[in-house]
Every structure is written in C-alpha cells, then in structure tokens.
Amino acid sequence: MPSLRTVSLRRRVAVSVLLVLIVVMIALVISVDRTFAQQSAKDLGTVALETENRATQMIRSGRPPRQIAKDLSRNNMRVKLRLPDGREFGETPDEASPGRREKVVLGVRVTVDADYGAISVAQGRLRKLLMLLGLGAVVLVGALLFFVVRRALAPLDAMTSLAQAIAAGHRGGRLNPSRTDTELGRTAAAFDGMLDSLEGSELRTRRFVADAAHELRTPITGVQAVAEALVQAPVDSPDRDQMSFLLVREARRAGRLVDDLLALAQLDAGYEMQRESVDLLGLAEAEVARTRFVAPDFDIAVEGVSVVVVGDGQRLAQVLANLVDNARQATGPQGTVRIRVDLTGFTVADDGPGVPASERERIFDRLVRLDDARDRRSGGSGLGLAIARGVVRAHGGELTCEASEGGAVFRVVLPRSQSGQAAGPLAPGQFPPSQFPSDQFPSGQVGQSGQAGQAGHEPG
C-alpha cells in the first residue's frame, strides 16, 4: 500500500497560490501589452486618416504646400506633399510605417506617415511598469499568505491537537463544528462521528470482555471445585461417578463458550467464508432429520420451495440449527416448530411464548439473556443469535425477529444465486458432509449455546 505524502500543507497552499498568481500576472502583462499595442495602432491610424483629410481640405482651399506640410507635420505625424512638377515639401521616413497613407489631390501626392517609434517606447515603459507591479504583488501576497494560510488551517491544527489528546488517553473531547455545511465543517463532523464510533466500540469491547470473563468464571470455578473434590474423594466413594459427570459437563460448558467467543472473533475480523451453491430446502430437511434424531417425539416439519443461494453451507446450517434448537428449548417437548423456505430465504416459527416487541432487537446483542436463570441451567451463553446474525450478514443477508400473534418468528433473508434452482432436495436422514451443522463450528454443539425468548427465546 503506497504511503501518504505528508508535504507541509501550508507550504503546498502557499506555493500553489503564488504559482497561480505568477501565471495570472504573466497572462495579465501579455494581455495588457498586446491590447495597448493594438489600441495605440488603431488610434494612430485614426489620427493619420484625419491628417490626410485635413491636407486634402487645405489643398483644395489653395493653401501653400509648404505651409500645409509645416502645419500638419507635428506630434507623431509626418506629412510630405509632392507637386506635379516634382517639387517636395515636408519629410517622411525612408521606410514606410504600417500606417502610411498616400493620396493624390488635384495632382498633388499627399503622403502621411505615422511615427510608431513613440508607441514602441511607451509600450516598453508600460511593460516594465506591469512587471514591477506584478513582482511587487507576488512578494506582498507571499508575505500575507504566511498569516492567511496559518489562520485558514487553524481547524486542522485543532483536529491534530484533539487526536493527540485522545491518543494520550484524554477521552471525551470533540470539535463540535459550528457549521456542518462547509468542507471543514463536514470534516470536523465526520471526525467527531468517528470518535463517537471508536469510543462506543471500545466501550462495547470492554463490556463484552468483562461479561465474557464473568461467564467463563462460572464454569471454570465449577470445574475447579469439582476437580478438587474429586481429587480429595476416596477411591471407593459412591459420588465419584457423579462428580466426574459434573466435571465433564462444566468443562464442556466452558469449551462451548470459548468456541462461541472464537466464532464471534472470526466474524468480527471479516472471516472469509466458503462460497458454494446451497439448497435451502435441502438444508432445512437435513435439520428436521437431525432434530427428529435428537428428539424423536418433537413436532417439527419443513415446507416451501427449492431455492439455491451462494454461501457457506456449514455456516448456514449452523444458523438454522441454532434457530431450531432455540425454538425447541422455548416450546418444550410438546411444542411445534415449522421451517418455511421461500424465494427470499427461510423462516423458523414456533408456538412458544414468543419474544416481547421491546426485546426483538436486543436479543441479538452479545451475552444477553431474557431468562437468565433458565438459560444457565441449559448451558446457554447468550451468543448464539449474535453468531447467527453475524453469519447471515456475512452472506449479505439479514436475520430478524418478526412480530407474530403467537410464538416467535425468526426470518432469514439471503440473496439468491443466478441459477435459482437446486439439484434436488435431500431425503430425510441424509446429512451431506458440507451441510451438517456440527462440522464447521468448534463446539460441535451448534444451537446449544443458548435458547431464545421470554420463558423461552433467548439470544443464545
């Protein structure tokens, strides 16, 4: 990645302004010089024409040629009269000027020649004057730019000072721009927004780490207590089997929590998932078969159409397994769960107590439980729905908890593949290796990390 060029902004602005000013001054000198030359030549030509007309009138009035040449040869005009007998009165330059005029009046040849030398001298003086004025303007502007640019870039110095203060640990400072409809105002507002986001993210991270440490402390404390009791218990103690069971259960609980935290860390880091064609209907049928194998008497079914999406089959299977297990925990052994696949994704609905409207978004937060006591008994960590939403969003979709008259409804929307058709649904009991829910995520207990709801659905 190329490095950012950090040339002094003040110097860059000052040099740029001076260069623009120099170019403008040069263009102005050239333009004024040419305009002056053209206008002077035009004015001199007009005077030559007027002089010629006056000479014509004098000749016709009978004025002496010598007197005519003397009276009209002044300023920048030279007039010469040549009579028919060859006599000449007045003088003109040997080389004709661009504005020389000649005319014959009553046999007298009248020659009027304008002196452009004076114009050239005046043009040279004007050119020097303009160059001196331009140079003075450049020097003056260069001196003023030091103060003007310093004042204009003062907001950037304020941003730098604030960034340095925050880096030093002084949180809470903001620029608070008075206007946000200007370039610096928009930049300052974006800077404040970035600081709000970073500090909010830092706060959430700290809270998440503290909650995760608190969650881990419970199973680890249990493991430690049971392990110490097991070590101290006699070899022939009748409680050793029970203590061994408790030790394994607490260890698994801690392992599931660590695996869920690892999965969230992978999602936050932008974990690159596998991309393959996944048949959502086949995935749902495989999940129904898995659930019936775990709970043969549980009422679960799938309906819908065969829809193909491009994504990671193992991750999507984990999402579906998590939602189904949450629904099964919420409804109990006598509950009902229905999976419906349509052209936009799939829906998992149950007939449990449902999720209150005020909690339908909060249940996707990390380490959030709506029924803390019951969830701890089931081993949930409050991370399952957060992981599920992260997986769905990584696929370009969305996972939401929708309003319903009874029970809870979780809606997964996914972008479809170009083909739109699957190779065919899976038969009940058929678990393809690429879609079996416990193959990808570390715990091997997908959906067991939490349950969902009020007296049921909880963000596990």
- CATH number for position 404: 3.30.565.10
Query: 110 forms bridges with which residues in the sheet?
Result: 81, 103
Look at residue 381 in the predicted model and tell me its pLDDT: 59
Angle between helices 117-152 and 154-167 (to 10 degrees): 30
Residue 123 resides in a domain: yes
- What three-state secondary structure class fits 102? strand
Assess if residue 237 is contained within a domain.
yes
| In a shared domain, residues 326 and 344 | yes
Same domain, 334 and 387: yes
Does 192 lie in the same domain as 142?
no
Is residue 161 in a domain?
no
- What residue numbers bound the domain in which 41 lies? 9-151
Per-residue tokens: 177: 């721009």
* Tokens matching residue 258: 């660590």
pLDDT, residue 442, reads 35
Residue 263 lies inside a defined structural domain of this protein: yes
Q: Are residues 232 and 261 in the same domain?
A: yes
201 and 130 belong to one structural domain: no
442 domain-assigned: no
Measured in whole angstroms, the distance separating CA 266 from the mean position of its chain's CA atoms is 23
The phi, psi pair for 247, rounded to 5°, reads -65, -45
Taking the C-alpha atoms of residue 74 and residue 22, their distance in angstroms, rounded to an integer, is: 41
Distance CA 297, CA 308 (A): 30
3-state secondary structure of 282: helix
Domain assignment present for residue 456? The answer is no
Paired tokens of 394: 């990584």
Q: Are residues 261 and 280 in the same domain?
A: no
Last residue of a domain, one of 223, 246, 272: 272
- Domain final position from 272, 307, 337: 272
Strand 108-114's sheet: what is its strand order?
88-89, 77-82, 108-114, 101-105
- Do 201 and 302 share a domain, yes or no? no
Contacts with 97 (C-beta within 8 Å, 6 or more apart), sequence order? 113, 114, 115, 116
Distance CA 78, CA 48 (A): 9
pLDDT at 412: 95
Spans of the chain, pLDDT less than 50: 372-379, 420-456, 458-460
Structural domain total, the chain: 3
Q: Are 196 and 180 in contact (CB under 8 A)?
A: no
Same domain, 246 and 303: no
pTM of the model: 0.49
Q: Mark whether 225 and 289 lie in a shared domain.
A: no
* Exposed / middle / buried, residue 19 (Cβ in 10 Å: 0-12, 13-18, 19+): exposed
Give the pLDDT of residue 3. 64
Whether residues 264 and 292 share a domain: the answer is no
Closest CA to 347 of 398, 312, 296: 398
What is the distance between the alpha carbons of residues 18 and 145, in angstroms, rounded to a whole number?
Answer: 9
Residue 322 · residue 316 · CB < 8 Å: no
Q: Is residue 447 part of a domain?
A: no
Residues 6+ apart with CB under 8 A from 170: none
Token pair recorded at residue 342: 């349509």
Q: Based on the fold, state whether residues 358 and 396 are members of the same structural domain.
A: yes
Of the three residues 205, 237, 272, the one that is the final residue of a domain is 272
Q: What is the DSSP letter of 408?
A: -
The whole-number pLDDT of residue 114 equals 77
Residue partners of 83: CB distance under 8 A and separation at least 6: 65, 89, 107, 108
Q: Give percent helix, percent strand, percent coil of the chain, each to the nearest 5.
A: 55, 15, 35
Q: Output the six-digit token pair for 106.
A: 């009553």
Contact indicator for 388, 319 with CB cutoff of 8 Å = yes
- Residue 285, domain member (yes or no): yes
Residues 281 and 405 in one domain: yes
Burial class for 51, CB neighbours closer than 10 Å (0-12, 13-18, 19+): buried
